[in-house]
């Protein structure tokens, strides 16, 4: 992978403070900026992948509902009432 130069303007006081802090951590400003850029790109890619997954899950739910594959509310309520009861029982026995 080739390297290129990235030039931008920044307030002198920010640059000076950034360079000073970088040096105090035995890093150059350029090293930190490369790290920040790499982390930002990775975070954006991870967020985009999660968003795509989540949208797929939502669409699968919509498709399932549209196909008539639904669980009646009373069954859902009963299932989670049982879970709440089991959790309460566990909390009471652990005290």
Give the domain range for residue 42.
Answer: 12-70
Is 89 domain-assigned? no
**All residues at 6 or more sequence positions from 33 whose CB lies less than 8 Å from its CB, including other chains:** 6
Angle at 17 between CA 16 and CA 23, to 5 degrees: 90
Is 88 domain-assigned? no
How many domains are contained in the chain?
Answer: 1
**The pLDDT of residue 1:** 73
Secondary structure (H, E, C), the chain: CCCCCCCCCCCHHHHHHHHHHHHHCCCCHHHHHHHHHHHHHHHHHHHHHHHHHHHHHHHHHHHHHHCCCCCCHHHHHHHHHHHHHHHHHHHHHHC
Is 4 domain-assigned? no
Residues of the chain with pLDDT under 70: none
Rounded to the nearest 10 degrees, the angle between the axes of helix 29-66 and helix 12-24 is 100
**The pLDDT of residue 21:** 97
Is 22 domain-assigned? yes
Is 39 domain-assigned? yes
Is 94 domain-assigned? no
Is 79 domain-assigned? no
pTM: 0.68
**The pLDDT of residue 94:** 85
Is 1 domain-assigned? no
């Amino acid at each position: 992978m080739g390297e290129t130069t990235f030039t931008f303007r920044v307030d002198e006081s920010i640059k000076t403070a950034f360079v000073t802090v970088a040096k105090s951590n035995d890093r150059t400003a350029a090293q930190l900026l490369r790290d920040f850029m790499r982390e930002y790109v990775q975070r954006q890619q991870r967020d985009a992948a999660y968003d795509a997954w989540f949208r797929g899950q939502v669409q699968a739910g919509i498709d399932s509902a549209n196909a008539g594959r639904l669980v009646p509310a009373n069954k859902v309520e009963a299932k989670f009432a049982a879970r709440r009861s089991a959790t309460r029982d566990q909390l009471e026995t652990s005290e």
